[in-house]
Each structure stands twice: as structure tokens, then as C-alpha cells.
Structure 1
Amino acid sequence: MLIKAIDGLNEVVGRVVSVVAIIFGAIIIYDVVMRYAFNDPTRWAFDVTKQLYGFYFVMLGGYALRHQSHVRVDLITETLGDTSRRWVEIAGYLIFFFPFAWVFMTRSWDFGVTSWNQGETTYGSVQLPVYPLKLAMACAAGLLFLQGIAEVLKLALGHKVPHHDS
């Protein structure tokens, strides 16, 4: 039930956030048309698309992990059987993934709250608030951490062991 809830949460977030790519793509096209067809470039498009792309990129980490889409180096695990591979994967999560995700989550939260308290804005011609993106990093790290829990539970409970063909 917990695995299904975490997988479902990251699936919904991934599908909703993927719409952001369409939005920042449309803004880029709009800016290019305004710049080259009408010689009237926007002042805001670069900053907005940069913020949207940052949001898009960080928020899809949990979704990517759910679908085993992260870059992996399987030099050790490719020669192992399913049971050994499962335990090596679990050890990797415990030793490397969870400490990284925890630091990413807690430091991003501090980073976002500091930005909020300072009223931090972008330095471009249009000053956009920066804290939404920085707080999104903390949210993304939380989603990644949760998906890590789901992946470890899948491994521990004997769900399909990921094989990564290259």
C-alpha cells in the first residue's frame, strides 16, 4: 500500500510537471517570433523560461527514479544473480542514496526559506522571486527520498529486480 501510494504520487507529479515543458517551449517560441519577426524581444521570457526549466528539471527526479530512468553504472551488479543484485541495490540506497537525498532535502529547505525571508529575486531585467524554485528543490528532494523508500521496499519484498541493458 505504501509503495503504491509513493509510486502514485510521483506518477501524478511527473505527469503534471511535464506540462511545464510545453509552457516553457511555448514561451521560447513566442520570444523568438517577437524578437525576429517583429523586432520586439520580450524582457521577461529568458528569466521565466530559466525558472520554469529549473522547476521542471528538479521536480521530475522522483518520477525518473520510479521509472528507473536515472543514469546508472552497473559494473558490479551486471554480473550478479537476482538475490545478490537486490542486496547490492539496497546497500547502495542505504549508503549513498538516502544520505544524499537527506542532505539535498534539508539544505534545499534551508536555502528556500532563506530566499523567502530575504525576498530574493532574479537579477535580470524582470525581477522574479527566486524562493518558489528553491522551495521546489526541497519538495523535489522529498519526492525523491520517498521514491527511494518505495524502491528499497520493492527490492526487500522481492519485486522485480531492475536489469539495465545498454
Structure 2
Amino acid sequence: MLKIAGAITRLNLWIASIAAWLIVPMFVLLMADVIMRYVVGSAEIWTAEFAQLIFGVYAVICGGYLLAERAHVNVDI
């Protein structure tokens, strides 16, 4: 059972290292949206929505990493 738990933890860490790169396309999309809004006068409709979708995937994927690192929010009573 410990081997399975260790494998899942390693998988979570590996996936989180890949998920860290999701910030780059999200940043590029939002910057393109801002530049187009000021240069052209209107932005593409899909850029902000797609950036939100990327952020949603990022948040879900990083949940496993936070669990592996014991970094979730804790409340002591």
C-alpha cells in the first residue's frame, strides 16, 4: 500500500511540474487581449475565456500537488 501511495505522490509532483507551465499560455493570452484592446480597439472574445479555462485546469491539477506537500489551508481549533 505504501508503494501505491508513493507512486501517486510522485505522479502528483510530476503533473504539478508540468502544470506550472500552464501559466505561460495564460499570461500570453491575457497580454494579447490587453494589447488588442488598446491597439485595435476591441479584443477577441475567446482569449479571456480560454485563460479562465486554463486557470481552472491549473487550480484542479495543483490540488494534488498541495495535498502531496501538505500545503492545503489548515484551521486549528
TM-score, length basis structure 1? 0.42
> 2:69 & 2:25 partners in 1: Cα distance?
24
More relative contact order, 1 or 2 (CA 8 Å, 6+ apart): 2
> Going by fraction, where is helix more abundant, 1 or 2?
2
2:58 aligned to 56, 59, 78, which one? Answer: 56
Q: Which runs of 5+ in 1 are unaligned?
A: 76-166
Aligned: 1:13 with 2:15: yes
Cα distance in 2 for residues equivalent to 1:73 and 1:35: 43
Counterpart position of 1:71: 73
Once residues 74 and 43 of structure 1 are traced to their aligned partners in structure 2, the CA distance between those partners, rounded to angstroms, is 44
Q: Which residue of 2 aligns with 1:44?
A: 46
Per-residue deviation at 1:42?
1.1
Amino acid in the other structure paired with 1:32: V
Instruction: Give the Cα separation in 2 of the matches to 1:54 and 1:20.
Output: 10
Q: Report how many residues are paired.
A: 75
* Pairing of 1:73-152 with structure 2 (within 5 A): 73-75=75-77
Counterparts of 1:46 and 1:30, CA distance in 2: 10
How far off is 1:48 after superposition?
0.7
Q: Distance in 2 between matches of 1:23 and 1:67?
A: 25
CA-atom RMSD, angstroms? 1.3
Q: CA deviation at 1:74?
A: 2.2
- Superimposed CA distance per residue, residues 98-152 of structure 1 (whole angstroms, 9 cap, x where no aligned partner): xxxxxxxxxxxxxxxxxxxxxxxxxxxxxxxxxxxxxxxxxxxxxxxxxxxxxxx
Q: Give a deviation string over 1:51-97, Cα, whole Å, max 9, x none.
A: 1111111111111111111100123xxxxxxxxxxxxxxxxxxxxxx
Structure 1 runs (4+) deviating above 3 angstroms are none
Using the aligned pairs only, state the percent identity: 28
Query: C-alpha distance in 2, partners of 1:63/1:30?
Result: 30
